[in-house]
A and B are shown apart, each in its own frame.
Chain A
Amino acid sequence: AQTVTQSQPEMSVQEAETVTLSCTYDTSESDYYLFWYKQPPSRQMILVIRQEAYKQQNATENRFSVNFQKAAKSFSLKISDSQLGDAAMYFCAYGNYGGSQGNLIFGKGTKLSVKP
């Protein structure tokens, strides 16, 4: 069974600085999807970024980028120029390409604080 591990329960960053959130996963599949979701205090789950395992190029979305290391099964999220609005829980998630496609397996989350 696939698993997702986020080893940092809490992280803190100074406003305008850069922070990296870690995520590792375990799977025997070669094709799959990886996601980072943000959950602010409102509790709404917001997609931050998505990566398809067959793509070697790391995904980027404005200030958010990932470092996808397929062989190491690592999928870290880098937030550049951190803003107060980035403070939230961040969840890493894994999705299968075939079979039970659609189902996501989530890590336990990292709580990010942003200091002014």
Chain B
Amino acid sequence: NAGVTQTPKFQVLKTGQSMTLQCAQDMNHEYMSWYRQDPGMGLRLIHYSVGAGITDQGEVPNGYNVSRSTTEDFPLRLLSAAPSQTSVYFCASSSLSGGARQTQYFGPGTRLLVL
């Protein structure tokens, strides 16, 4: 059981470049989300989705775009990378029903460096 997978593990971008961080889960979870982790800041929510075709903004959505065409996949797009987007990005998923509802399972993270 793979759980939540993320690719790539590490990426270097130049300012202004665009890229997509991939996230997939095989647990049939309705809910998926993206967080960024910066030193001393904990994890902050970027975007989330409660099902295919439904997305919404979190606390820090500017500069990022998401879509959810399937239950399994939730890619995060950086439209024009900026040094302020240097961070570690985590994808997470959870069920919205049942005994384990709300418990989020995290991917291994993607470390992004924007020069």
Q: Which residues of chain A have a CB within 8 Å of any CB of chain B?
A: 4, 33, 35, 37, 42-45, 47, 50, 91, 93, 95, 97, 101-109
Of A33, A44, A106, which one neighbours B102 at CB under 8 angstroms? A33
A35 to B44 Cα, complex, angstroms: 15
Q: Are A35 and B31 in contact (CB under 8 A)?
A: no
Of B45, B96, B105, B109, which one neighbours A43 at CB under 8 angstroms? B109
Question: How many B residues, CB 8 Å from partner?
Answer: 25
Q: Are A43 and B42 in contact (CB under 8 A)?
A: no
B94 an interface residue at 8 Å Cβ cutoff? yes
**Known A102-B33, A102-B104; further 5 A-B contacts with Cβ < 8 A:** A37-B106, A47-B104, A103-B48, A108-B40, A109-B42
Q: Are A44 and B104 in contact (CB under 8 A)?
A: no
Nearest neighbor of A105 in chain B, beta-carbon distance: B45
Q: Are A43 and B108 in contact (CB under 8 A)?
A: yes
Interface centre among B33, B43, B108, B109 (most CB of A within 10 A): B43
B27 an interface residue at 8 Å Cβ cutoff? no
Nearest neighbor of A46 in chain B, beta-carbon distance: B106
A47 to B105 Cα, complex, angstroms: 8
15 A–B contacts, CB within 8 A, in A order: A37-B106, A43-B109, A44-B108, A91-B42, A97-B102, A102-B31, A102-B33, A102-B50, A102-B102, A103-B45, A103-B58, A106-B42, A108-B40, A108-B41, A109-B42
Q: Are B106 and A44 in contact (CB under 8 A)?
A: yes
How close is A35's CB to chain B, nearest CB, in angstroms? 7
Contact A108:B42 (CB < 8 A) given known A45-B90, A101-B102, A102-B94: yes
Nearest neighbor of A108 in chain B, beta-carbon distance: B42
A108 to B89 Cα, complex, angstroms: 16
State which residues 70-93 of B face A: CB under 8 Å.
88, 90, 92
